[in-house]
Amino acid sequence: MLAYVTLVTNADYGRGALALARSLRQAGAAHPLVVLATENAGYLDELVAEGCRIIETARPELSAGFQERHSRDRQHSVAPFTKGEKPAFHDPLDNFCKLRLWQMGDYRKLVFIDADAIVLRNVDRLFDYPAFVAAPNLYETLQDFDRMNAGVFVAEPSVATYEAMLAELDQPERFWRRTDQTFLQYFFPDWHGLPYTFNVLQYVYFNLPELWLWPDLKILHYQYEKPWQVGHGKSDELKPLIDLWWQVFEGGTIPGDLPSPFAGAPTASDR
């Protein structure tokens, strides 16, 4: 069995997942979207109506020390975010629920997509890639290529892997500054790299505009500020992307003439 999977631990990310589910349907995805949902998740009825399968989940069993080191306040003071803002509804400890997907032994392969992302075209061929696969954390400079982003990845579930992960994750004094992302890069040091187009981060739009080639982009990931946050700090620079998210959320189709962030950008007909 194959499936897409996302994570929802509150209503805000439930809303995000609904846009993701609608975008997958529009792109003609061949596999369903499974939503790993904690008890505080929202929008579950809407997600079911959209054809999603809901699987209840919870944070992995984590020691008290680990939870303290990775609480929102501690994480923001020890490893502050200097490039962008994390919304108040983002809890770093909830990110570790992603690891639970390795327990989904009924599935041969899963494509995980963050709830703050939408697909712009069909990405079923991700299931042909060997696990573990992710894209670079590219949003500012070339240096970003050295790190991976955990918003899109291909994984092969295995309970043995899950247990090995947990044993490695929660050791005395360990601190994962960017939570699941730092951990997954550590656990899979030889991660296979996807082109950035499979997980294009919204800041690329203003930091590296030459890379914003609409016809090539496959998954758009709204890292940091979320498109459904009213009037966030970057809503002017990101307006075309925010408008696009709302269009998808409301069930509209993806327009063919999206505004390019630079002059002379190629269009679909140049390909």
Distance CA 204, CA 98 (A): 25
Between 88 and 263, CB nearer to ligand UDP: 88
Tell me, what amino acid is at 161?
Answer: T
Mark the segment that binds ligand UDP (CB under 6 A) among 6-14, 58-66, 157-165, 247-255.
6-14
In sequence order, which ranges of 87-190 are alpha helices (DSSP H)? 92-95, 159-169, 179-187
Between 26 and 149, CB nearer to Mn ion: 149
Mark the segment that binds ligand UDP (CB under 6 A) among 24-32, 48-56, 89-97, 157-165.
89-97
Q: Do 93 and 76 form a contact (C-beta atoms < 8 A)?
A: no
Q: Which two tokens stand for residue 184?
A: 């997954």
Distance CA 75, CA 73 (A): 6
Distance CA 202, CA 236 (A): 13
Distance CA 142, CA 228 (A): 29
116 contacts Mn ion (rule: CB under 5 A): yes
Between 20 and 52, CB nearer to Mn ion: 20
Q: Do 243 and 252 form a contact (C-beta atoms < 8 A)?
A: no
9 contacts ligand UDP (rule: CB under 6 A): yes
The one of ligand UDP, Mn ion, none whose footprint includes residue 170, by CB under 5 to 8 A per kind, is: none
Nearest-10 Cα torsion for 256, 259, 261, 263: 90
Between 91 and 116, CB nearer to Mn ion: 116
91 contacts ligand UDP (rule: CB under 6 A): yes
10 contacts ligand UDP (rule: CB under 6 A): yes
Q: How far is the CB of 192 from ligand UDP (least distance, A)?
A: 20
Could you tell me which residues are beta bridge partners of residue 148? Answer: 136
The one of Mn ion, ligand UDP, none whose footprint includes residue 94, by CB under 5 to 8 A per kind, is: ligand UDP
Strands 192-193 and 133-136, by their bridges, are parallel
Between 50 and 91, CB nearer to ligand UDP: 91
Task: Candidates 18, 32, 35, 94: give the one binding ligand UDP (CB under 6 A).
Answer: 94
Footprint of Mn ion (CB under 5 A): 114, 116, 151
Give the residues lining the site for ligand UDP (CB under 6 A): 6-10, 13, 90-91, 94-95, 114-116, 151, 223-224
